Amino acid sequence: MKEDSIIKRIYKSPYLHFVVFGLVMSLLPALTSGGILKTSWLGIIGGTIIYTIAALGLNLLLGYSGLISLGTAGFMGLGAYISAYATGNLGLPWEIGILAAVVIPVILGILIGLASLRMEGLYLGIVTLCVSEVLRKTFDELEPITGGFSGKSAEYPTLLGMFKLNQSTTFILLCVILVLVMILTYHLANGQMGRALNAMRGSHVAAQAMGVSLLKYRLIAFALATGYASLAGALYAHFIKFVYPSTWNLPLSLVILSIIVIGGLRSIYGTFIGAVIVYALPDLVLKRIPVIGDINGLSYVFSGILIILVVLFYPGGCVTVFYDLKRLLKKLTKRQVKDHV
Amino acid sequence: MGGRALSTFLQLLLRSLETGAIYALATLGIIIVFRTNLVINFAQGVMGMFGAYIVTVIFTKFGIPLLLAILLGIIAAIAIGFVVDFVIIRRTKKVGGSGKEIITLGMMMVFLGIAPMVFGVDPFRLPKIIETGAFTLDAANLSYNSLLNIIVGLALTIGLFLLLQKTKLGLAIRTTASNERTARMLGVPTKKVTLFSWALAMVLGTLAGVLIAPSTSVTVNLMDSVQVNAFIACVLGGFQTFYGPVIGAYIIAIANNLLSYYVSSVWGTQILYLLVIIFIVIKPVGLVGKRVIKKV
């Protein structure tokens, strides 16, 4: 087989695809300020990006290593409050705030990873739910740091202490971070770690027999999932600019879970598609439809039914639709060639 | 002085028995579905919320007496349980991994969405079954309604155990619980068993909702804390038996009240959850669970 030329290799590189994807996304502020799209799109797509980041972490955990976590919301909240407190009350630079907001939850995540070695399957789900509940109740009560029920406000980030961002530039920052997270996820998932996690999902006993260190990779998986979730939470604090304790409840964890199930387990673009379907579509499309759009709870019913249908009839998630279409197209063109001969 | 401390303790214990009864009902709903379908039903809480909403709406909108409203609510709950099993659960036989649990999460979202569509967003109030009256036991007060709740919880739990142990239906449930495929081969109508288990779970959830409703208002969040506590009770008691989770439910209720009163009203629940997590790490199968040895 002939080696691909360098240009072709660069063209085929998934990293380049992520960068192009990010560039296309960051055109959005230009479109909204140009009046082509409504300004509300910025907030909704920004939220979608934040949800995608949190969901990518859960995808590493549930998709690759098969460990279920229902604590995503708690960690997102923890990241949000730490970052808001560090930048707002302590006056620390944004970069340090976000670093603290990722590191502290990761330590907690590693502890859960340690505990997870003793449990199986859904016990773990309920224990992570327990942790998330403890965190959520703490957000309610720890008023000096979290502001209690009245919530806590945060500012748009100031980069390097001098570049003060507004909504559009924060959106571009979100795009940059999303691309970095996607590249990191791709790199991890397709390297040695991805293979180890895949082996663990199949059978952790067999994986151990093959020399995969269960301790090491479970800890890494949990550290990554909590790290991504808290990063998403911290970005939420600085993009939405307000944090309420009631946001970080079980339904939010379920929304993140439904994103990866609907979009596609073990797929990076699938996660984004899932976030668009679950988070952006109800806001951008469903609520615009006359009469039906005014009904309360429609978006919940929409995602709920979609989850059930996807698990029952399309276990690979919505992203496999594209692969199936590609295969179908190939089949059709092949048949045509044959007919000609 | 000592007498007062004792009566406070007694009061706390009685109140815990009341919340314990509610948790036990929700827990039984989860465990009966888990044993017969091998799925942890994350929708148990919202199913109970939905049932409680139906009772409340029948009671307030149509002015039907409360007991009759509860009876109608139970009938509606059975119907919804049948629909859930018929439309969704039957088709999940081939779904592997955590797929079934994720489907129950989807069901949870559907119920959460339908509730405000059907019942509106304004909260309702549901009165107590016995409005007034209390009796005193060694300086500890207990309203007749609380007593009724305790008795209903215990009676239903005991009734369910009798059903499981003494009747033919109970035998069918236990056979299905131990091995669904073998049960089917032996001629147990497993389809009817799962149908029954979902209806029963829905009824138990509804009753738990009706019992807890008077102490708060009927909203979509009615069962949130009950659900979380019921799950924790299941893990604490172990999923392998029917009675373990019920014991867990009462332990959670009692420990929560005692910790909140004697240690800290703000941090009591968090301390309890942390203790449960530590317990699970030490003994992962729960209080009365057996270790399931998995073949590779």
> What average pLDDT does chain B have?
85
Q: Model ipTM? A: 0.83
Query: Which chain A residue has the Cα nearest residue B230?
Result: A126
Provide the 3-class DSSP secondary structure of residue A166: coil
Sign of CA dihedral A144, A145, A151, A153: positive
What does the alpha-carbon distance between residue A130 and residue A141 come to, in Å, rounded to a whole number? Answer: 17
Residues of A in contact with B99 (CB under 8 A): 311, 315
Is the per-residue pLDDT at B23 higher than 90? yes
Residues of B in contact with A131 (CB under 8 A): 273, 277
Q: Which residues 73-112 on chain B approach chain A with CB closer than 8 angstroms?
A: 88, 91-92, 95, 97-99, 101-103, 105-112
Provide the 3-class DSSP secondary structure of residue A58: helix
Distance from the B2 Cα atom to the nearest Cα atom in chain A, whole angstroms: 32
Q: Which conformational region is residue A325 in: left (phi greater than 0), alpha (psi within -120 to 50 degrees), or beta?
A: alpha
Look at B48 and B139; give whichever has higher pLDDT: B48
Per-residue pLDDT at A288? 67
Per-residue pLDDT at A255? 85
Look at A293 and A77; give whichever has higher pLDDT: A77
Is the per-residue pLDDT at A1 higher than 50? no
Is the per-residue pLDDT at A237 higher than 80? yes
Per-residue pLDDT at A295? 67
Pairing assessment for the beta strands A163-164 and A242-243 based on DSSP bridges: unpaired
Choose, out of B91, B103, B109, B227, the residue to mutate when testing the contact with A (most A CBs < 10 Å): B109
Is the per-residue pLDDT at A305 higher than 80? yes
Angle ∠(A50,A55,A58) on CA atoms, nearest 5: 140
- The correct CATH number of A2-340 out of 1.10.3470, 3.30.70, 1.10.10, 1.20.1630 is 1.10.3470
Distance from the B149 Cα atom to the nearest Cα atom in chain A, whole angstroms: 27
From B103, B228, B281, residue closest to A311, measured CB to CB: B103
pTM for the whole structure: 0.86
**Closest C-alpha among B85, B86, B87, B94 to residue B41:** B85
> Over the stretch B219-252, which tens digit does the pLDDT of each residue have?
888 888 888 899 889 888 888 888 889 999 999 9
Is the per-residue pLDDT at A178 higher than 90? yes
With an 8 Å Cβ cutoff, are B110 and A301 in contact?
Answer: yes
> Over the stretch A188-209, which tens digit does the pLDDT of each residue have?
888 888 888 888 887 878 888 8
Q: How confident is the model at residue B83 (pLDDT cuts 50, 70, 90)?
A: very high
What does the alpha-carbon distance between residue B257 and residue B265 come to, in Å, rounded to a whole number? Answer: 9
Any idea which of A219-233, B13-27, B108-122 has the lowest mean pLDDT? B108-122
Task: Give the residue-averaged pLDDT of B36-54.
Answer: 89
Q: What DSSP state is assigned to residue A3? A: P
Per-residue pLDDT at B291? 64
**Closest C-alpha among A197, A240, A202, A251 to residue A221:** A197
- CA–chain centroid gap for A15, Å, is 18
Per-residue pLDDT at A286? 67
> Over the stretch B155-185, which tens digit does the pLDDT of each residue have?
999 998 898 888 888 888 888 888 888 888 8
Residue spans of the domains in chain A: they are 2-340
Residues of A in contact with B105 (CB under 8 A): 254, 257-258, 307
Task: Give the residue-averaged pLDDT of A114-126.
Answer: 79
Per-residue pLDDT at B66? 86
Count Cβ atoms below 10 Å from residue A310 Cβ, excluding itself: 25
What does the alpha-carbon distance between residue A315 and residue A296 come to, in Å, rounded to a whole number? Answer: 29
What does the alpha-carbon distance between residue A61 and residue A309 come to, in Å, rounded to a whole number? Answer: 23
Per-residue pLDDT at B97? 65
Is the per-residue pLDDT at A65 higher than 60? yes
Is the per-residue pLDDT at B295 higher than 70? no
**Sequence-distant (≥ 6) Cβ neighbours of residue A321 within 8 angstroms:** A314
Kindly state the percentage of chain A with pLDDT values over 90.
18
Is the per-residue pLDDT at A92 higher than 50? yes
Pairing assessment for the beta strands A158-159 and B140-143 based on DSSP bridges: unpaired
Distance from the B265 Cα atom to the nearest Cα atom in chain A, whole angstroms: 11
> Over the stretch B193-213, which tens digit does the pLDDT of each residue have?
889 999 999 999 999 999 988
Task: Give the residue-averaged pLDDT of B52-56.
Answer: 91
> Over the stretch A11-33, which tens digit does the pLDDT of each residue have?
778 888 888 888 888 888 778 77
